[in-house]
Copies of this chain bind each other. A is one copy, B any other.
Amino acid sequence: MTELDRVFGTSEVDAVDAVIWALPSSVCREQAKRLAPHFRGHEVILHATKGLEEGTLKRMSQVLREEIPCPRIGVISGPNLAHEVARGEPAATVVASVFNEVVDAGMALLATDKFRVYSAQDVIGVEWAGTLKNVLAIAAGALDAMKLGWNARSMLITRGLAEMVRFGVAMGAKESTFLGLAGIGDLLATCSSPLSRNYRVGQRLAQGEKIDAILSSMGETAEGVRTTRTVWRYAQANRISMPITEAVHMLVDQGVSVQVMLHSLMTRPQVSELH
């Protein structure tokens, strides 16, 4: 058994041909460096890691590409809450790559009659959607803690999606990707799951806990907290309008209450829906 077999549990007898890379973003580069010598170059890598490299705006496929000598990389993303998939409930996902053979490998490895796989090419959009949704998961947790209804939640998700589109497009993504399973699909599932760490961070912030206390009790960083800071800073510097992201930033890092944040969002100047 090779080191790649050991890490990824894939099944070829003595050569791994396709790897599903699902390590956390925080260890992505370090593990990629460690495993790089075990790749031969012909392998297809499909990663399912959400988030950015800490301290940079680099997406996971960029990090992998920099460390591993395999050009054929793709990303898997969609509304795929793990416990539901494990129970055999129906779900769908997107495999995105500019290489057809990566998409084909993803379909061959993953598709079943309970798990539908759609193909796409916009790797940048799929990766940014999976990163940005974590900011909104914090907002959704905070809003739900206030026990407001479906109108408020639909407003949050819709206007949050508009921010994701603006930011994503500025980073080179295609708008239509955010209309799809890796965009609105994953956003919906994440914002609805109390199992999401980011959602729970939002809930606990709304209940008045401090971010440091929440994070230390959780034992590991909720991806969305880091992402909020990184994205907000970039959006500020580049004049991308992201009022919800800004509100989450104020909630997380400046201790502003959800009530104040919500009132400030509701009383902004009226605008066109297309910014």
Contact = CB atoms under 8 A, between A and B. Distances in A.
Contact of A118 (B92, B154, B193, B271): B271
Nearest to A263: B113
Contact of A150 (B159, B175, B193, B267): B193
A273 B116 contact: no
Contact of A116 (B79, B94, B266): B266
Number of identical protomers: 2
A161 interface: yes
Contacts of A113: 263, 266-267
Interface in A189-237: 189, 192-193
Contacts of A271: 118-119
Contact of A149 (B81, B149, B165, B183): B81
A119 B274 CA distance: 8
B153 A188 contact: yes
Interface stretch (A1-9, A17-25, A44-52, A83-91): A83-91
B179 A178 contact: yes
Interface string A119-131: 1100000000000
Interface of A: 78-81, 84-85, 87, 89-92, 94, 107, 111, 113-114, 116-120, 148-155, 157-159, 161-162, 165, 175-176, 178-181, 183-186, 188-189, 192-193, 262-263, 266-268, 270-274
Report, nearest first, the 6 A-B pairs whose CB atoms are least far apart.
Answer: A79-B154, A91-B151, A158-B185, A84-B149, A118-B273, A154-B188
